[in-house]
């Protein structure tokens, strides 16, 4: 996320009331940036002269170290604010979780923090800090410009094929990493994929994520937003692995081309399954061994349409060679038939990308190297800007750790990066 070059800040408070958890409102003076800022940029000396005073002596883990700018959104158990670190001036996202006096810290929050502290990858949102008070638990994340859902809403009719390819490569890269770390995301949807102004995609919201463990029968089938939930989970299966995330990624893949969700059910599992069967066909014991034994299987589904070609149903897949083949490998009804994230990364669909992208270290962004950056700026983002006019719109394991130890681990890993 960045501050647009034409934005003018006026002398005023950006919040209307004090927050109970101690974050301070910032009063900013007018300034003009010479260039669009990166999501990780800190405020420069020009800003310091005009009223911003950052203090490197301030501690991590303290509410006083961050300034609240504005409320970004609110979920079922957390509110997210845009903020600034008083330590180094970096923009941050503050995810504030109110704690119930009787129940204490929500288990999902502990799980998210425990998993994120061990995940270090350019395509996974970075957790900088944790602030723990009696009333709230605050996660301090890197601030990223927008999410894929908002990005797609700005471009009705589907994204340019070049950008679909780049976003999909980064999504699979992030998934391959977490699956290698034995972590399942379990809630893939466009709202949980953050997009920076540089086109970096980052997996976010690990509240439903969990470490893969044995026995897997302890898993719940009530995971993943309905539209992105695979048929095995809809049928009540509680034995699943990384194939759960692959289905969701496949749905998002085609949605980026089409500009609308693949299987937009209402709120009924049966309706959601029927939308899937209309495309894939009803599974049988021959095509999906054991399907008839799943709790929600209904033998009265017969007869329904036979499987169809994805390109016949989703015609915009034809915009990119090999896209249909990759999507069909990700959207297999029988979970074990689905391609893995690592296998998908070497699919022919990605053969037009430079070889360097496949050799990047985990912590390196596809925008990191100068040669790679040049390739993507000229052949991906400029081509979409020319086609769709995007430049202006891009502006517009188990839980064993205590919160204290998680926080200490995060500070040890990230203190250096926050100082830069």
Digit-coded pLDDT (tens) for 227-280? 999 999 999 888 778 999 999 999 999 999 999 999 987 778 888 998 999 899
CB 70, CB 14: distance < 8 Å? yes
pLDDT at 221: 43
CATH 1.10.3210.10 corresponds to the domain 146-393: no
**Where does CATH 1.10.510.10 sit in the chain?**
146-393
CB 227, CB 251: distance < 8 Å? yes
411 SS3 class: helix
pLDDT at 411: 55
CATH 3.40.50.720 corresponds to the domain 24-143: no
95 annotated to a ligand binding site: yes
- The question of whether 337 is a catalytic residue gets the answer no
Residues of the chain with pLDDT below 70 are 1-60, 101-104, 209-224, 302-305, 367-420
CB 33, CB 8: distance < 8 Å? no
Distance CA 330, CA 351 (A): 18
Distance CA 330, CA 309 (A): 14
pLDDT at 255: 96
The residues, any chain, with a CB within 8 Å of residue 69's CB and separated by 6 or more, are 14, 15, 26, 81, 82, 83, 84
User: What phi and psi, each to the nearest 5 degrees, are found at residue 400?
Assistant: -110, -20
Distance CA 238, CA 220 (A): 6
From the CB of residue 34, how many other CB atoms can be counted at a distance below 10 Å? Answer: 8
From the CB of residue 289, how many other CB atoms can be counted at a distance below 10 Å? Answer: 12
- The number of CA neighbours under 13 Å toward the Cβ of 412 is 8
Per the document, the length of the chain is 420
**Measured at the alpha carbon of residue 128, what is the angle toward residues 62 and 222, in degrees to the nearest 5?**
110
**Where does CATH 3.30.200.20 sit in the chain?**
24-143
Both tokens of residue 79? Answer: 């509110």
Among 47, 187, 205, 245, the one annotated catalytic: 187
Burial 200-213 (b: 16+ CB within 10 A, else e): bbbbbbbbbbbbbe
């Amino acid at each position: 996320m960045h501050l647009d070059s034409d934005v003018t800040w006026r002398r005023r408070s950006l919040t209307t009331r004090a927050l109970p958890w101690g974050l301070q409102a910032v009063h900013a003076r007018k300034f003009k940036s010479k260039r669009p800022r990166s999501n990780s940029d800190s405020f420069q000396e020009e800003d310091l002269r005009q009223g911003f005073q950052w203090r490197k002596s301030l501690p991590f883990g303290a509410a006083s170290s961050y300034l609240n700018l504005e409320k970004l959104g609110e979920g079922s158990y957390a509110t997210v604010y845009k903020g600034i670190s008083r330590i180094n001036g970096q923009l941050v996202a503050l995810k504030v979780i109110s704690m119930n006096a009787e129940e204490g810290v929500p288990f999902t929050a502990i799980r998210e923090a425990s998993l994120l502290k061990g995940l270090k990858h350019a395509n996974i949102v970075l957790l900088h800090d944790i602030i723990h008070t009696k009333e709230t638990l605050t996660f301090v994340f890197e601030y990223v410009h927008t999410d894929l859902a908002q990005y797609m809403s700005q471009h009705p009719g589907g994204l340019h094929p070049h950008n679909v390819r780049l976003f999909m490569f980064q999504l699979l890269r992030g998934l391959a990493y977490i699956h290698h770390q034995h972590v399942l995301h379990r809630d893939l949807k466009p709202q949980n994929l953050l997009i920076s102004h540089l086109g970096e995609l980052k997996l976010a919201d690990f509240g439903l994520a969990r470490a893969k463990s044995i026995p897997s029968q302890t898993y719940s089938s009530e995971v993943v937003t309905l539209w992105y939930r695979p048929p095995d989970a809809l049928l009540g299966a509680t034995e699943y692995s990384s194939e759960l995330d692959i289905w969701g990624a496949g749905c998002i893949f085609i949605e980026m081309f089409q500009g609308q969700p693949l299987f937009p059910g209402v709120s009924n599992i049966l309706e959601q399954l029927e939308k899937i069967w209309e495309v894939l066909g009803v599974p049988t014991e021959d095509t999906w061994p054991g399907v008839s034994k799943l709790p929600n299987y209904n033998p009265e589904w017969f007869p329904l349409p036979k499987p169809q070609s994805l390109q016949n149903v989703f015609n915009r897949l034809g915009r990119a060679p090999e896209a249909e083949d990759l999507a069909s490998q990700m959207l297999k009804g029988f979970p074990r038939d689905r391609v893995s994230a690592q296998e998908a990364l070497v699919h022919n669909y990605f053969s037009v990308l430079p070889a360097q992208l496949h050799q990047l270290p985990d912590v390196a962004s596809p925008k990191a190297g100068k040669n790679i950056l040049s390739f993507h700026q000229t052949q991906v983002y400029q081509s979409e800007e020319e086609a769709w006019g995007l430049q202006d719109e891009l502006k517009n394991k188990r839980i064993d750790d205590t919160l204290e130890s998680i926080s200490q681990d995060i500070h040890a890993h990230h203190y250096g990066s926050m100082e830069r």
